[in-house]
Structure 1
Amino acid sequence: MPKFLIQATYTPEGAKGLLEEGASGRRAAVDQVVAGLGGQVEAVYFAFGKDDIVLIVDFPDPVSMAAVSLTVKASGALTTRATPLLTPDEVDEATRRQVPFRAPGR
């Protein structure tokens, strides 16, 4: 199952919701959304600084991740970025593939 790192920052309105609902309430909401699309939450951490919350999630496919991303962004409560994560075996497989490429100017 594809794995993703999600980093998010609450907007002022989203931070108000977090203050009202608490971290446990938000974790439950994340679990529900991810499980509803056939995925699994591996880790959830709240932070301070540039990111307010960091998650590692598994989804059955990238389209499921995109659906969640679009829905969350449309809410206006968070700004997010999702990074696909690869295992060492997946990177090893990528290094064995031939890719025809010519660098600019060569």
Structure 2
Amino acid sequence: MPFYLFRGRYNTDALRALVDEPQDREKVAGEMIAAMGGKLHHLFFCFGDEDVVALIEAPSDEVMAACALVVGASGTMAGGATTKLMTSQEAMGAMSAAKAGRGAYRPVGG
């Protein structure tokens, strides 16, 4: 199954709710992702531009998009992004395909 990196920022109300009543968001997120056929490998709270990052395995881009839509539609996030990840083996396959297709490309100005 493909892997994805989800990054998110909670809105002020959600942060206030987490401070007022600490909650295990990893458990809740993991249950939702599992219900959609995926697996939450890790959820980390962090400093910086994002409040949380999660490593998720999902059966398809559509399932991952659905998971992100569920979270986004909840109204608790101020923003977020999902990045599709590739294993080293998948990247090497892409490199081999690029090598094979390089001859069909004409660079700018070329």
Fold match (TM-score > 0.5):
yes
What does residue range 1-106 of structure 1 map to in structure 2 within 5 Å? Answer: 1-24=1-24, 26-78=25-77, 79-97=79-97, 98-99=100-101, 100-106=104-110
Structure 2 distance, partners of 1:29, 1:104, is: 49
State how many pairs are aligned: 105
Aligned to 1:96, the other structure's residue is in SS state helix
Please give the root-mean-square deviation of Cα atoms over the aligned residues, in Å. Answer: 1.6
Q: Structure 2 CA distance, aligned partners of 1:63 and 1:2? A: 11
TM-score in terms of structure 1 length: 0.87
Which one-letter code corresponds to 1:104 in the other structure?
V
The 4+ residue runs of structure 1 with deviation greater than 4 A are none
Pairwise CA distance, 1:14: 1.8
Structure 2: runs of 5+ lacking an equivalent = none
Residue identity over aligned pairs, in percent, reads 30
Larger Cα Rg: Structure 1 or Structure 2? 2
Q: Structure 2-normalised TM-score?
A: 0.84
Q: 1:93 to 1:15 in 2, by over 3 A?
A: same
